[in-house]
Amino acid sequence: MPFYTIQQGCSEEREWVRNKLLGLDRLSPDNKEKVLTAWVSAWKSSSYANLEDMPGFSFSLYPLLDHVNDVVHFGISMAEEATKRWGVTVDWDYLIQIFLLHDIDKPLLLNRDGDKIVKSPFASQIQHGVLGALLLNEIGFSEQVVGTVATHATNSPFHGSSTEAYILHYVDLFCADRAVILEGQTPYYQKLSLKK
């Protein structure tokens, strides 16, 4: 069985995804369509009939779509403030793409058994991020987007060096901690400080 198949989906499915994701209006028309194809492909290749049922994390039913939209929401604010405060320049098309696509493989790696989240058989064959990068590469995303998604996970052996990858890293952890705190578990920022 392949990890995924690239699918355009029907117009209703593409419209459904288009209405759920924040930030699409900031993308070029071509990249917007590619993002929709990526989400439709991940969705239709997954075990989920409904995108809203996809959990964002192995430890929480916090919805994946909510997490991704959290990252877009807070990420745009962070990037805007960084440009104002520090004068850094940001490639907005690239940044919004990695916000929207960084967890694109989660529907393929996490399944549900009722309210229980179970790792799919793929999760022991390929790492989170790398599977997403394969899918994105096949759709024709830029090497910057593919590379950043491939290396964004906290357990990746290295992370990208772009400003956009740096912003994604912190906003992703900030938003992931929201789900961790709601679960009553120890958030990442406390775990990281305990390592010192």
Q: Considering Cα of 146, then 149, then 144, then 178, what sign does the dihedral take?
A: positive
For the bound state, the minimum distance from the C-beta of residue 33 to Fe ion, rounded and expressed in Å, comes to 23
Which of residues 164 and 172 has its CB atom nearest to Fe ion in the complex?
172
Rounded Cα distance between 65 and 51, Å, is 8
Q: Name the segment binding Fe ion (CB under 5 A); options: 95-103, 108-116, 130-138, 161-169.
A: 95-103
Token look-up 């759920």 returns: 20
Six token digits for residue 169: 């890293």
Q: Given the complex with Fe ion, which of 103 and 164 has the nearer CB atom?
A: 103
User: In the complex, what is the shortest distance from the CB of residue 158 to Fe ion, in angstroms, rounded to a whole number?
Assistant: 15
The SS3 call for residue 127 is: coil
> Does the CA dihedral 147-137-108-60 come out positive or negative?
positive
| 172 near Fe ion, judged by CB under 5 A | yes
Q: Which of 79, 90, 94, 103 binds Fe ion (CB under 5 A)?
A: 103
Q: Going residue by residue from 47 to 86, which x/- string records binding to Fe ion, judged by CB under 5 A? A: ----------------------------------------
How far apart are CB 98 and Fe ion at their closest, in Å?
A: 10
36/109 with CB nearer Fe ion: 109
Is residue 32 within 8 Å of 101, Cβ to Cβ?
no
Could you give the residue ranges of the DSSP H alpha helices within the chain? 11-20, 29-44, 64-86, 92-101, 106-109, 130-139, 143-151, 163-182, 188-194
CA distance 113 to 45: 17
Decide if residue 164 touches Fe ion (CB under 5 A).
no
Which span (46-54, 138-146, 158-166, 170-178) binds Fe ion, by CB under 5 A?
Answer: 170-178
**Min separation Cβ 190 and Fe ion, Å:** 18
Question: Rule CB under 5 A: which residues touch Fe ion?
Answer: 103, 172
